[in-house]
Structure 1
Amino acid sequence: MSSLTATLTPSRRRRLFDFALALAVLLLALGQLGSQSFGEQTDAARQIDPAGVALCLLSAIPLLMRRRAPLAVLLIVLAATVALVGLDYAVLRPVAPAVALATLGERPRQVNPLRIASVTFAAFSAFVALAWARFGLEPGEYLVTALLWGGGWVIGDRRRLARQRAAQERERIEREQRLAVAEERSRIARELHDSAGHAINSILIQAGAARTVQESRPQGAREAIEAIEVIARETIEDLDGILGRLRGGGSAKLAPAPGTDRIADLVERHRASGLDFHLVDRPGSGQRIPPAVDRAGYRIAQEALTNAARHGTGSAAITIDRRDGELRLTVMNPVARQTAARAAGGHGIPGMCERAALLDGTFEAGRDGDSFVVRAALPFAGQDP
């Protein structure tokens, strides 16, 4: 039997369950009808006859349609239940209304619960009045029926609430997943901007330097072209890693994401193109910097040096300081007096600011006299390395 039900579709399993449920309700009603309420009303109850069987069928068969028309099914089984007692049939433990109420309680609120409660209470009052008049039962003996009907509604309502909470939880998880994907794509977009923007700017500088000295210093021109080749190769590797993460994985052979230990390479690359860039790297207490902070520090330094090369006068100084649980970066480059403040239409400064904010750090950038200064402080104390 278990292998048979396992091969059934969900809709067929539901129909099979409804058939079994209706059959059980019918047998219970016929049992009470034939035994005069299990022998309790042999003197007062009417014997089983076709009319009584028909009413029992009317109270059970509609349950097969309880999922499609639950309110109509409730009204039919309530009417049949009251009619059985009104015609002296001792079916005093009616289960069909409880099943119909459970179905209604389980459904979304398409019908006002107060209307359902009013109809059910009216039917129950008629049931109690007729049963008391016909069989002389005490009011307390109807408590079982009241609990049965009320319990059916409560069970259905609890199942509805459970399904509702499960649906809300699924929606919350899906919403968080969509948000995580959007945040990851935004982070990758920043990575692409920083990596590709820095590379293109460096290639432009190196190409300009090669063109300028190709006649007077052929060796310098060759060095600039070699630097362009190195930059292009490193950028391709960097983009492979970024795009691999965008696709949801990436090759295991990809180089690790750059950190602050490679800022010196950035400075040397700019120096090789003829710029007067200097690095001051102050060692810290030896505490390891978490990868997220290390990577963000590198990207901020990369973007700041790129901006210095594009907008400055050819020189810049970068200071790296690791103390008091913070990674501190300062990039200062002179600018011409008549140079206006840098336009905020690009993505460089907002991107650096966002990187610092994501790590609960601070960031500021602006002119300070004849220099443009970028300062970033990224806390790492207490973070997992």
Structure 2
Amino acid sequence: MPTFILAGVERRTWAVDAGIAGLALGLTLGVLAMGGFGRPDPGSRTVDALGVALAVTAAAPLVARRVVPLTVYAVTAAAAVTLIYLRYPFELPLGPVIAGYTVAATYSGGGAAARRWSARLAVAMFVPLITIAYGLAGVNIETITSGLLLWAVVFVGVWLGGDRSRLQHEQITVLEEQARRTLREAERERRLAVAEERTRIARELHDSAGHAINVILVQAGAARLLHTRDPAGSRRAIGTIEDVARSTIGEIDRLVRVLREGEPPAMPTPEDPGALEQLLKRHRADGLTIAADIVGQPRALPHGVAWAAYRILQEALTNAARHGAGTADVALSFGPAAVEITVTNPTVSNGVRDGGGHGIIGMRERATLLAGTFAAAADDGVFRLHTRLPITDAAS
């Protein structure tokens, strides 16, 4: 909370306590000046300078009742007992009552046991002490028994009221702390969500750029080889390089803008039922010979499953084009509970191996995050990749 707000609250608290102390002092002096309630006692002492000083001592310390509650109570109670002992018509102990309420509100619950019991004993002893003071002053206790009982009831009520006030204050404090904790947790969740989203976008950027560079590498090699004996094929390869580079630059620009500005990304839609077939068609156009076997009816998939399937198939075909012999066998199975992808291709290098490379790691991570399975291995010149991605609502 800002310092100026705390200072303002503190000033208002002191002002309230000063007003309460002034009101208690005024009422105490008024009762003393009237000679008490009802018919004045002939044996009571008229108000004088000493009486005024004791009245001030019995009420004015309430200004500091929140700072040193026990001290204020002890001072006001001692002044009240002295007024009674000196036979002043002190029939309205507002100072001790208000100070006792503050002591109960402060010490009736937690804190050190010794202080808690000291507070209870101090408040409980007020009526017995004034009873002794009346007796020492020569007042017949039997004539004031009803008044003493009333004061006892008042002080019991004061303690119960202060204790209830303390409980309410503690509950409010707990609720405020819970609210602050909820806000902190919400802010932490928001930041985690942003971080996860940025990580996902960075992964998409890596996958897109890696795929594009591999396609450009393959097509550049084809253009170089076909430059002399097949100029038309060489021009097609160069055109593919140009298209892929232009498309990738646009996607990189979009993703970097999202990372920099935090705007919602306008992602492509791999949830489209034909997205995987379009991906196969694009790789065929890039020069990869693909034999596809599609089992089941392609359909819209949950967002997470669609993205994972699209990126895994894209990475697998990119690896087949880069490390293989220009051919790949693809099996896509759309079941009611899962999507399965199998890619098999001959290899002419050791660039792809079981558990190796960031591409394999990324594909395995995508499958694992969806509680799916992933396996990839090269054996006897043939690389085989298989993944199973469960279709659940949690993947949407």
Normalised by the size of structure 2, how large is the TM-score?
0.77
Q: 1:301 to 1:45 in 2, by over 3 A?
A: farther
Equivalent residue number for residue 63 of structure 2: 61
The one-letter code matched in structure 1 to 2:64 is P
Q: 2:179 aligns with which of 166, 170, 173?
A: 166
> 1:3 — aligned with what?
none
Q: What's the % identity of the aligned pairs?
A: 35
For the residues of structure 1 that align with 2:285 and 2:234, how far apart are their CA atoms?
A: 11
Of the three residues 233, 243, 259, the one matched with 1:230 is 243
Kept in 1, the 8 Å contact 2:289–2:327? The answer is yes
Higher helix share: 2
| 1:91 lines up with 2:127 in the alignment | no
- Structure 2: how far apart are the matches of 1:244 and 1:282? 39
Deviation at 1:161, TM superposition (A): 1.6
The aligned counterpart of 2:54 is 51
Structure 1: segments with no counterpart, 5+ residues: 1-8
- After superposition, the Cα gap between the structure-2 partners of 1:15 and 1:381, relative to the gap in structure 1 and judged at 3 Å, is closer
How far is 1:15 from its partner?
3.7
Secondary structure of residue in 2 paired with 1:212: helix
Q: 1:100 to 1:18 in 2, by over 3 A?
A: farther
- For residues 7-46 of structure 1, the aligned pairs below 5 Å read 10-11=5-6, 13-30=8-25, 33=28, 34-35=30-31, 39=37
The structure with the largest alpha-carbon Rg is 2
Q: Is 1:331 the equivalent of 2:343?
A: yes
- Is the 1:201–1:306 contact (alpha carbons within 8 Å) kept by the matching residues of 2? yes
The equivalences for 1:128-143 within 5 A come to 128-134=127-133, 137-138=148-149, 139-143=152-156
Residue 198 (structure 1) shift = 0.5
Asked if 1 retains the 8 angstrom alpha-carbon contact of 2:353 and 2:378, the reply is no
Give the root-mean-square deviation of aligned CA atoms: 3.6
> Contact between 2:305 and 2:395, CA under 8 Å: does it hold in 1?
no
**Counterpart residue number, 2:140:** none
Q: Which residue of structure 2 aligns with residue 364 of structure 1? A: 375
CA separation of 1:244 and 1:12: change in aligned 2, threshold 3 A? same
* Per-residue Cα deviation, 1:90-135 (whole angstroms, up to 9, x for no partner): 41562245446657899xx9xx443541342242233343244346
CA distance in 2, matches of 1:105, 1:143: 13
Paired AA for residue 315 in structure 1: T
Once the two structures are superposed, residues 244-278 of structure 1 have per-residue CA deviations (whole angstroms, 9 ceiling, x without a partner) of: 44332157xx5634456333444344434443333
In structure 2, what residue type is equivalent to 1:376?
T
Mapped to 2, the partners of 1:152 and 1:83 lie a distance apart of 25
Match of 1:373 in 2: 384
How far did residue 220 of structure 1 move? 0.9
User: Aligned partners of 1:345 and 1:98: how far apart in 2?
Assistant: 74
Deviations 1:136-177 (CA, angstroms, capped at 9, x unpaired): 523545311211332232233223222222222122112212
Task: Identify unmatched segments of 5+ residues in structure 2.
Answer: 85-89, 135-144
Q: 1:215 to 1:369 in 2, by over 3 A?
A: closer
Report what 1:6 is aligned to. Answer: none
Q: Is it true that 1:249 corresponds to 2:263 in the alignment?
A: yes
Work out the CA distance in 2 between the residues paired with 1:287 and 1:383. Answer: 18
Q: Is the 1:56–1:80 contact (alpha carbons within 8 Å) kept by the matching residues of 2?
A: no
